[in-house]
Amino acid sequence: MSQFAENLEKIRSRITEAAGRSGRNPEEILLLAVSKTFPPDVIREAFDSGQTHFGENRVQELLTKIPELPPRIEWHLIGHLQSNKVRKILADVDMIQTVDSLDLAQRIDRIAGEIGVFPRVLIQVNIAEDSAKFGFTAEAVRTEMETLLCLERLQIDGLMTIPAFDPDPESARPAFANLRELRDELASEFDLPLTELSMGMSHDFEVAIEEGATIVRVGSALFGKRGKPKNE
Ligand X SMILES: *Cc1c(COP(=O)(O)O)cnc(C)c1O
- Strand partners for 158: 122, 196
58 contacts ligand X (rule: CB under 6 A): no
Q: Nearest approach, Cβ of 116 to ligand X (angstroms)?
A: 28
Show the DSSP H helices in 49-170 as ranges.
59-65, 86-89, 102-115, 138-149
Q: How many CB atoms lie within 10 A of CB 41?
A: 10
CB of 23 to ligand X, least distance (A): 25
Choose which of 8, 43, 78, 172 interacts with ligand X (CB under 6 A): 78
Phi-psi region of 212 (alpha: psi -120 to 50; beta: other; left: phi over 0): left
Please state the closest distance from residue 145 (CB atom) to ligand X, in A: 22
* Residue closer to ligand X (CB basis): 124 or 153: 124
Distance CA 108, CA 96 (A): 10
| Under rule CB under 6 A, residue 36 binds ligand X | yes
Q: Are 64 and 72 in contact (CB under 8 A)?
A: no
Closest residue to ligand X in the complex (CB): 219
Task: Kindly tell me which residue out of 57, 101, 126, 161 binds ligand X, with binding defined by CB under 6 A.
Answer: 57
Count of C-beta atoms within a 10 Å radius of residue 169: 17
Q: Which residues of 59-81 are buried (b: 16+ CB within 10 A; e: fewer)?
A: bebbbebbeebeeebebbbbbbb
Tell me whether strands 196-198 and 155-160 are parallel, antiparallel or unpaired. parallel
Q: Which is nearer to ligand X, 142 or 180 (CB)?
A: 180
To the nearest whole angstrom, how small is the minimum distance from the Cβ of residue 184 to ligand X? 23
Residues pairing with 99 in the sheet = 123
Rounded least distance, CB 55 to ligand X, Å: 7
Site string for ligand X, 129-168 (x = CB under 6 A): ---------------------------------x------
Taking the complex as a whole, the smallest distance from the CB of residue 150 to ligand X amounts, in Å, to 27
Q: Tell me which residues in 182-221 interact with ligand X (CB under 6 A).
A: 201-202, 217-221
The residue ranges that bind ligand X (CB under 6 A) are 34, 36, 57, 78-79, 162, 201-202, 217-221
